[in-house]
Structure 1
Amino acid sequence: MINDFKFGRVVIIGDLLLDCYVSGSVHRISPEAPVPVLHRAHHTAVPGGAANVAMNAATLGSKVTLIGIVGQDSAADTLKNALSEISGIDLSHIVDDPNWITIAKTRVLSGRQQIVRIDEERIETPSAETRAQLIQAARTAMENADVVVCSDYAKGVLTDDVVQAVCLAARERGIPVIVDPKRKDLSAYEGAYLITPNRSELYMATGLSCKDDREITEAARVASAAFGGNVLVTRSEDGMTLYETNGKTTHVQVRKSEVYDVSGAGDTVVATIASILSAGQDLETAVVIASSAASIVVSKLGTATVSRAELSAALLLEIQEDGETADLARARDIIEGWRHHGARIAFTNGCFDLVHPGHIALIKAAGKQGDKLVVAINSDASVKRLKGEKRPLQDEQARATVIGALRDVDLVVIFDEDTPLETIKALRPDVIVKGADYRENEVVGGDFVKTYGGSVVLADLISGRSTTSIVRKMQVGV
């Protein structure tokens, strides 16, 4: 799973915010005006905006360079101090501008109910000198970057010239740019790899209705044409829709959970996608994993992050199977879903006519080599060709049922050929596991899996255990 991912370096540039929370309890209405009186209990402050994207990416394990503007004020000090507590975030490229006011949003809460929000900000275009500093900082940071994120909260940092310079520099280096957009004119993001509007932002940019899958897809297509990249539409409880430049559309459902607070959920999605891409995974995998991260973060109060352990546990929960038996087409679809959740696929095969301790040892060893184990069993016709007319002793469905009931087995497929080579080619497992009575160069499919980075593992056997020897003993009455 994602615990095995090696996350890379992510550059994040955008609007830096400080999210403050004043919480307490309300027991009466003010005699001065029809408003609740809050008995204040707690006051906390956490990074928001692009800073929250950085927190999320670093918490997952990415190395982050954060670029933005802060003023020379107490909010800036609070923001930097909070960020400095998170390992993996480089703050050296943040621009201190004496003419800037660090943006702070204060939410007043009674329990989980937000009563009012107070914003401290002065939105204006940064000076030419400050914009030049931002551009230079981005170019410098990109020298060792794998992914760039532009976190646009429409607070002034991502001006046209800054966005264009970032996209141009990234394109020159072959680095994908992900943009969380806040503009009506998406052409400003030309050269970006992916934008991540929510439903209302997509409507604002295209003027098209975004109520259902069909309308979302059409609006995403128009948005894609406006800047030339992929579009991921976040749709709250309706999940996400990924529209790719090749015309492929993927609707991803979110895990059902009680939603407490959507503050910063978009930041979590962007940070997760950037981190997964930095680990060398494909976009669809990144989106599926990001949907799980979003499901976790909305159940938390306020601006929050998702740890790698939390995300890994959620992904495992979503791909639980009961050792079902599937035909090859269905098995391929199941495995593709597992892969998009970051799972490593192990594979072993055999006749498994009478299951004995040797079989169990092989399957246990195979299960340890991956997150999900696929077992391929020979069909009845295949067993007869290999073992003779009196075999198998149990038909293929009975054998599949027994193997599928084993704890370590996640999926069973039946193949009709003499060897599982075609099955292996269709399923493309990450590792093939066979008994140590084989040599590695004798394992069917071994050479094939190695062509795409897979491997072969030879497991220790329990000597003297085989269906043939059991049958022989039965025949002689031993």
Structure 2
Amino acid sequence: MSRLVVVGDALLDRDVTGRATRLCPDAPVPVVEEEERRSRPGGAALAAALAAADGQEVCLICALGRDGAGEELSDLLACAGVEVVDLGLCGPTPEKIRILASGRPLLRLDREGPARPGRPGGEVEAALEAASAVLVSDYGRGVAAALRGHLVRAAARSPLLWDPHPRGSGPVPGAFLATPNAEEAALFAPGVPGGGRAAAGRRARLLLERWRAAGVAVTLGPEGAVLAGEGGSCAVPAPRAAGGDPCGAGDRFASRAASLAAAGASAREAVEGAVRAASAFVAGGGAHAFRPGAPRPPAEGRTAAEELARRVRERGGTVVATGGCFDLLHAGHVRMLEAARSLGDCLVVCLNSDASVRRLKGEDRPLVPQEERATVLRALGCVDEVLLFEEDTPEEALERLRPHIFAKGGDYELSELPEARVLARWGGEAVILPYVEGRSTSRLIREAASRAESG
């Protein structure tokens, strides 16, 4: 198995979650009624724990204070299966405390003071020499600076990835990949004006030359990343994700890219895999939902649509579903889907399978196979997922999804919809959306046939 060595500043993150239903009487601020308090690894420790959760062999070189927070963080890393080389920290272990209400952050409190990492010993060089890849997770608190000479030598032996911080220094020359986010890239390259993907690409190319790196990937949140290398630059788009918590997304990106590099992936392959991993991590609730060392819940029999609905429900969001054949997608379909998506936080389309369409529409339908119909639907910005079903109606699919709302387009009465009775079992509701006159698949088919005959 490949071995990943993570170098950087370890933090202790704490989440305090609760409900906020009233304002404080002496100030216009919400009162949070605490329900849960949980600690987890942060900073470089989070990157290491995430890589270990992927099944990667991980060693973390960091500096822990001789205090309660340091002891707690050490225990969390042991639980996550991360080997630790501790330089020792002269000062308190940094802590970040987030206050959340109904899953949404309200406030962050930082606890830290002047601190200095200890001097590296022989075990640091031994760990770096045994690395298949090295990830520097720099949070500007001194560990990367203290080991810079070691990291220069490491970059000459194996792929070295550097996740920089404005408070720290730039990567060592010869880094395999540097991964600043868009805000960090703008701070490192202040002379490049503008925003968006184009400006990020210009900054990536400038930093590539300045840092003498083999590759620079500027991460763009939900837009993915821009990668610059010796062969030019390219955009790496992210898959769409409904909602989520971006806390820890940068560490998820860097840890996955480093694990892939350790296995021999190219920079582009590493960035593409890291973008997918970060998007899934955010959609799944981010660092707040991560449980180091906990077994992953079984996904057997559960579709991507069901997983999405579960995550949105857990965050207190509204799950919307609709259904249909969607054979030859037209403007009426798109308007209905956009209206349905506006009713909640995610939209799942229950899609009739080919066999189901044949029973409902006749042996000459569908014109477009089910996988292609699903692909077209997923490409729409208003559709978050698609769930295929074999029955004539989506009742069983709705039982699996348990949406809050089922939206149906057309000239119907609610009493006519069997889906309304299904949703009533768990307190959901059915909604009729406006019908778009003159738009139907059957009409398009007749018109195409008529034109073919006349032509």
AA in 2 matched with 1:215: A
Q: Which residue does 1:324 correspond to in 2?
A: none
Calculate the TM-score normalised by the size of structure 2.
0.61
Distance, in Å, in 2 between the alignment partners of 1:85 and 1:291 is: 27
AA in 1 matched with 2:147: V
Is residue 150 of structure 1 aligned with residue 142 of structure 2? no
Q: Which residue does 1:90 correspond to in 2?
A: 83
Identify the structure with bigger relative contact order (alpha carbons < 8 Å, sequence gap 6+): 1
User: Can you list the C-alpha shifts for 1:183-213, whole angstroms capped at 9, x where unaligned?
Assistant: 3786553232211000010010011135233
Per-residue deviation at 1:36? 1.4
State how 1:369-384 maps to structure 2 within 5 Å. Answer: none
8 Å CA contact retained: 1:233, 1:242: yes
Per-residue deviation at 1:168? 2.0
Is residue 233 of structure 1 aligned with residue 221 of structure 2? no
Is residue 171 of structure 1 aligned with residue 155 of structure 2? yes
8 Å CA contact retained: 1:152, 1:180: yes
Q: Which residue does 2:164 correspond to in 1?
A: 181
8 Å CA contact retained: 2:138, 2:168: no
AA in 1 matched with 2:111: E
Is residue 102 of structure 1 aligned with residue 65 of structure 2? no
Distance, in Å, in 1 between the alignment partners of 2:120 and 2:36 is: 40
8 Å CA contact retained: 1:104, 1:119: yes
Q: Gapped runs of 5+ residues in structure 1? A: 1-6, 318-403, 408-478
Per-residue deviation at 1:67? 0.8
Percent identity, aligned pairs only, is 30
Local SS of the residue matching 1:106: strand
8 Å CA contact retained: 2:77, 2:83: no
CA separation of 1:241 and 1:305: change in aligned 2, threshold 3 A: farther
8 Å CA contact retained: 1:167, 1:192: no
Per-residue deviation at 1:406? 12
Distance, in Å, in 2 between the alignment partners of 1:81 and 1:37 is: 32
Misfit runs of 4+, over 4 Å: 184-188, 304-310, 404-407
AA in 1 matched with 2:216: V
Distance, in Å, in 2 between the alignment partners of 1:209 and 1:288 is: 26
Local SS of the residue matching 1:166: helix
8 Å CA contact retained: 1:186, 1:205: no
RMSD: 2.7
State how 1:323-338 maps to structure 2 within 5 Å. Answer: none
Is residue 30 of structure 1 aligned with residue 24 of structure 2? yes
Is residue 209 of structure 1 aligned with residue 196 of structure 2? no
Per-residue deviation at 1:405? 8.2
Local SS of the residue matching 1:189: coil
Q: Gapped runs of 5+ residues in structure 2? A: 308-367, 372-455
Larger radius of gyration: 1
8 Å CA contact retained: 2:171, 2:178: no
User: Can you list the C-alpha shifts for 1:209-240, whole angstroms capped at 9, x where unaligned?
Assistant: 35233322221111011111110110012110
Calculate the TM-score normalised by the size of structure 1.
0.58
Is residue 198 of structure 1 aligned with residue 181 of structure 2? yes
User: Can you list the C-alpha shifts for 1:53-74, whole angstroms capped at 9, x where unaligned?
Assistant: 0011111111101111111111
8 Å CA contact retained: 1:125, 1:156: yes
Residue 59 of structure 1 is aligned with which of 37, 53, 56? 53
Local SS of the residue matching 2:69: helix
Per-residue deviation at 1:45? 0.4
Per-residue deviation at 1:115? 1.4
CA separation of 1:198 and 1:171: change in aligned 2, threshold 3 A: closer
8 Å CA contact retained: 1:150, 1:180: yes
CA separation of 1:62 and 1:71: change in aligned 2, threshold 3 A: same
Q: Which residue does 2:111 correspond to in 1?
A: 120
